[in-house]
Chains A and B, each alone.
Chain A
Amino acid sequence: MKEIQTDLPAPGLTGYEATDASADAPMRALVHVPRAEPGEGGARQAGRRLSDVDGWGRSEKMRSLTRSVYEPIYRYWFRTEWEGFENLPLEGGALLVANHAGAIPSDAPVIMHGIERDLGRPVYGLAENLFRALPVIGTLWSRSGGVAAHPQNAYRLLHDQRDLVLVFPEGAKGPGKHYRDRYQLRRFGRGGFVEIAMRSGVPIIPLAVVGAEESMPILWKSNRLAKLLGIPYFPITANELLLGPLGLVTYLPAKFKIRVLPPIHFDVPPDQERYSRSRVMNETEAVRVEIQEALYDMLRTRRSVWFG
């Protein structure tokens, strides 16, 4: 697997040669080096890359640029605090499952930023494939680690590449809920995420996020307008009432607290054709309850929305 670069410019020139399989590095460097696929030899003509965009569209250069811009927001605006950060694995695949909130969800960037900064591992965020169809935004989304939620994508990331994947099982129902329903978790889909974790043979790590709900609360929403525009929900947020159009891009400075719960391992063999539906549904509900309980627990000790 080693000597696959032949008549090419010296490696290190760009730093991310395409098929340099560094599978034996104990801890993944944040500079994402795509692994060779399992059970294969490399092709002899590997070619020279001019960008570091990987098979998922993620670019570590773009990410580190985004991180340096986002750092002040993360640190001074949301003043993010983590609990149980040691529950995140230093290596191996894991499916991070979190609650989802805020009209334009602010939780995904915060979680991805924090983990990439402090754990030094890339996080791929699964999202609605709607993003893929948006010009410009879709490209930026993909460069910064967004991946269309497809079971095959998740499996390949978790099982083949052994990466960290973030998923919000509530889907659009989480961020699309009214402010009066804050911190009331919606249904966790049909448990697809549990099945993927089982099939990939990776643990689920539940994350409870407090703060996203208040960063962009939905006061009113129009189903008719949403249907007309073909989007999941059309919200009027507190931000828009306070700041006008600027409210579309400005979050309220709610204090962010993220609790990482202990990993849940399913002792089932990976790569099965199918898994017991009732077991999947039970585990799904168990994860949901666990996050819900953690949220209540965190809210009980929270003195202020803005100062934590």
Chain B
Amino acid sequence: MRILLTGLSTFWGGRLAQALEARDDVEVIIGVDTRDPRVPLERTEFVRCDSTFSILSRIVAATQVDTVVHTHLVANSTRIAGRTLHEINVIGTMNLLAAAGGPDSSVRKLVLKSSALVYGSNKEDPYFFKEDIGRSRAARTTVERSLVEVEAFLRDFADDNPHVAVTLLRFANVLGDDIDTPLTRALRLPVAPEIFGYDPRLQFVHEDDVVGALTYATSHDVPGVYNVAGDGTLPWSEICAIVGRRRISLPSVLTTWAAEPLRIARVVDLPPEVLRLLRYGRGVDNTRFKRAGFRYEYTTAGTVDAFARGLRLARSAGDKHPAYKYEHEVEDFFRHSPSVIRTGD
């Protein structure tokens, strides 16, 4: 397999590249991103590009990759401005699909990391979304709209390119020691926010299962749309209790206004889609990906438990991992210098 990976410097991208490096059937891994990789890599080639991947078609043509893994979709709207998010998600995916499609393209497999955000969170929702059920109400936030749009592109792409196996993975909210999302921030606060009178059920997937699912989809032929989430849903009150947090209520009316001071004071940024989640919750049916052969390592409760243990460890031992720094010359030396003895060849 010759693999092109977008978002190498994101948490998933890096871990996925590490996992793929260990496989013998993977010949080449090329990772693109705007920033330096944040994990040490053995043989992955890193190419810096702009956030909308305009260079991608050249890379695909030059390297003749057969598999494209698109992990660089942003589902966390608190890190970047709405405009940039739209550019990365929508325009980036358009460029990626343009590079991967076409009659003379070498690409035969495409894996895309989407989010359960495409289902939204509304009172009309079923308690467990199946893959073929649409949203109850139209998407209103930038991040949700952009992801819905991306999925529509992908459907068209799959129709136009029947020779490409397209796998779309919709991940539930992710918890893990190294993850920074509005919900992990909320759970790291001394008191966790809730909306008065609501105790929604949430579903999580562990960061290891995210990497596992992406690796599984890349190395197996499982075309189609799949939800990826741990078994079961847990009430927010119980999640907070497992993590050992008391809760503080935001008012149930004008909640977005009440959350605004928290954002300005940089306590926690709860964007509208997260506030809706804290009101109505969301669950997805994860059986289809299991039937496709994937085995989860964590249930939702297991994920929350692991997260809680990680927090306790960080409290006692500090959470400053020795940061990895990507040095281009050093990496180049190890990969290409004739002096380095390579056992793999």
Contact = CB atoms under 8 A, between A and B. Distances in A.
Given A153-B127, A156-B128, A49 B302 contact: no
A148 to B, nearest CB: 7
Interface in B113-134: 123-130, 133
A268 interface: no
Contacts of B285: 37, 156
Interface in B181-213: 195-199, 201, 206
Most chain B beta carbons < 10 A, residue from A50, A134, A137:
A50
B301 A49 contact: yes
Given A55-B283, A150-B124, A19 B198 contact: no
A130 B201 CA distance: 17
Contact of A55 (B201, B295, B296): B201
B198 A138 contact: yes
Contacts of A147: 127
A53 B127 CA distance: 14
Given A48-B242, A135-B197, A43 B302 contact: yes
B333 to A, nearest CB: 40
Interface string B148-175: 0000000000000000000000000000
B291 interface: yes
Contacts of A55: 127-128, 201, 232-233, 283
Interface in A115-134: 129-130, 132-134
Contacts of A139: 197-199
Interface in B260-317: 280, 283, 285-287, 290-291, 295-306
Contact of A45 (B125, B126, B298): B298
Contacts of A37: 231, 285-287, 290
B15 to A, nearest CB: 18
A53 B234 contact: yes
Contacts of A25: none
Contacts, number: 129
A132 B123 contact: yes
A163 to B, nearest CB: 13
Interface in B129-152: 129-130, 133
Contacts of A134: 197
A156 B129 CA distance: 11
B319 to A, nearest CB: 21
Contact of B290 (A40, A51, A153, A156): A40
B291 A45 contact: no
A290 B319 CA distance: 67
B125 A18 contact: no
> What band does the interface of chain A fall in when counting residues whose beta carbon is under 8 Å from B?
35 or more
A129 B242 contact: no
B306 A47 contact: yes
A19 B130 contact: no
A139 B291 CA distance: 33
Interface string A131-161: 0111111110000000110111100100000
Given A18-B232, A37-B231, A47 B304 contact: yes
B247 to A, nearest CB: 13
Contacts of B198: 135, 138-139
Contacts of A46: 299, 301-302
Interface string B230-244: 111111011001100
B197 A138 contact: yes
B84 interface: no
Of all A-B residue pairs in the complex, the 4 with the closest CB atoms, nearest first, are: A135-B197, A47-B301, A45-B302, A47-B302
9 contacts: A18-B299, A42-B299, A43-B298, A45-B299, A46-B302, A47-B300, A47-B302, A55-B283, A156-B127
Given A44-B298, A152-B130, A153-B126, 16 more contacts: A18-B299, A19-B232, A37-B287, A43-B230, A44-B297, A45-B298, A50-B241, A53-B201, A53-B234, A53-B235, A55-B127, A135-B198, A139-B199, A147-B127, A148-B124, A148-B125
